[in-house]
Amino acid sequence: MSKPKNKLPDLANRIVASMVFCYVLFWLAACNSKPPSDEQLKQQAAETTQQVKKGAQQTAADAKVAAANAERKVNDIAAGVKQGLNTNGKPAAMQVNINSATEEQLAGLSGITPARAHRIVRGRPYDTSQELVSKGILTKEQYDRISTQIVAQ
């Protein structure tokens, strides 16, 4: 007498075999898909080129801003060096424009009282800073003390 066969393992083998067969069919279908057409390749290339162009334009704009900032800094440094050279060995100080400075700014100069600062403002405009002496607002000695600190612009 032969033993009756257990049909459960046979059924599992058939299910696994069917699954493998389906997987192979899907894999073959994916491998046999059509390659992109020439038109699709052109479109992809155009889109990529457009993205690269936008990136290059942004980089160029950033470079212009950086160059402008660098130029401004170089100009500021050059102006500082020039001002330092024009002080004849004295510490560089900001020059006060006698035609636009406030009375408080003028009174901050060595030997200039608030009353003298008021007289300087009343005597405007000045073509040169020496006019402070010629108009009798400052003495020659007072002018000599502040001459490197003032301009008439």
Q: How confident is the model at residue 60 (pLDDT cuts 50, 70, 90)?
A: confident
If one compares 2 and 38, the residue with the highest pLDDT of the two is: 38
Nearest to 149 by CA among 102, 97, 103: 97
Tokens of 104: 């408080």
Q: Is the confidence at residue 93, as pLDDT, over 80?
A: no
Q: For the chain, what are the domain ranges? A: 73-153
Q: Across all residues in the chain, what is the average pLDDT?
A: 80
Q: What angle do CA 21, 26, 27 make, to 5 degrees?
A: 95
End-to-end CA distance of the chain: 127
Q: What is the domain class of 73-153 according to CATH? A: mainly alpha
Alpha helices in 1-151 (DSSP H): 8-31, 38-85, 103-107, 114-122, 131-134, 140-146
Residue range 115-142, pLDDT digits in tens: 999 999 999 999 999 999 999 999 999 9
Is the CB of residue 64 less than 8 Å from the CB of residue 70? no
- Give the C-alpha separation, 51 to 45, whole Å: 10
CB neighbourhood size of 98 (10 A): 26
pLDDT of residue 92: 47
Q: Is the confidence at residue 1, as pLDDT, over 60?
A: no
User: Which H or E run includes 96?
Assistant: strand 96-97
Q: Is the confidence at residue 144, as pLDDT, over 60?
A: yes
pLDDT of residue 33: 62
Q: Is the confidence at residue 77, as pLDDT, over 80?
A: yes
